[in-house]
Amino acid sequence: MQNSAQSQQVSDRSGVRCERFFHLNLPSVMAAKSLIYPQMSAYYDCDANYFRSRSSHLGLLLMHVTAGRLAVCGVRGEVEAGPGDTVLLETFRTHLYCAAQGTSPSFYWLHFDGVGARPLAEYLIHRNQGICFSLPNEYSQRFSHLILDLSKENLPETEQSARIYALLCAMERPNLERTPCQKAVDYLQGHYAEGVRIADLAAAAHLSASHFCACFKEEYGVSPHQYLIEYRLSIGHNLVCNTAQSIEEIYPQIGYSSPSAFIAAFSKKYGSTPSALRKRLYDRAARG
């Protein structure tokens, strides 16, 4: 259920000279369980006394500054954001933001939350090494268009979610250098059919073997060896399900030394031998 009636606005407007495009949203059960969803959004033109300080408030907050400067303080640092800057703030934790001294800020803002939103925000802040993002000019247009469209109350919840997610994804700037472990994964994906060693991956990451293994586990949640197994088996599964290649043709393509080794690993992961899985798929297709 969505609701942005002016009579039900709940945001604090002290210090706000002009407010436009206000939208208050109550997500449906489906959106709350499955999507990233907006909570409140608007455009504020503020005076020099604008100030907000809270121990907790909703979920996450994006603020895109168009004029003046905002001073922002959260658990992940303090920044002063100027025109063109976007701030990503975890408002479910203690935070403060206000007009920087001597300025009267104007900014678009969006409170949001939902499935995967908080871990994604944490990742973006970590990659950016801070809560203030300097992004291309087109980002400002995308942000402002979303705030305007939300205020019109005609966006399906799935589209709302997709556009918020796209805004967040655009915050991982393409010019950011890939992490050492991502460089190692690039090497692994190009050499998975070969005898990939930890030493090779560590060299691609420019780390010592022990440091690389610890960093990889922290970033991907599995060891480099387990990642390699999962990657090889995923490709093998695709070849079993979507080609007519025999097991004898498949196993060397994905780095296994023998068909028996491939079959054993495949069965452990998928609970079925490659031949049995292929037969089930064939029988299902034959039945229509």
- 158 falls within a domain: yes
Which of 115, 145, 169 finishes a domain?
Answer: 169
Give the structural domain span for 134.
6-169
Distance CA 244, CA 236 (A): 12
Claim to verify: residue 33 and residue 140 sit in the same structural domain:
yes
Is 175 within a domain? no
**Is 121 within 8 Å of 168 (Cβ atoms)?**
yes
As for how many domains the chain has, the answer is 2
pTM value is 0.64
Beta strands in 27-94 (DSSP E): 36-46, 51-54, 60-67, 70-74, 77-81, 85-90
Contact 24, 4 (CB under 8 A): yes
Digit-coded pLDDT (tens) for 48-74: 999 998 888 888 999 999 999 999 988
pLDDT by residue, tens only, the chain of 288 residues = 344 333 334 456 788 999 999 999 999 999 999 999 999 999 999 999 999 988 888 889 999 999 999 999 888 888 999 999 999 999 888 899 999 998 999 999 999 999 999 999 998 988 888 899 988 888 899 999 999 999 987 889 999 999 999 999 888 865 556 789 989 999 999 999 988 899 999 999 999 999 999 999 998 899 999 999 999 999 999 999 888 899 999 999 999 999 999 999 999 999 999 999 988 888 887 776
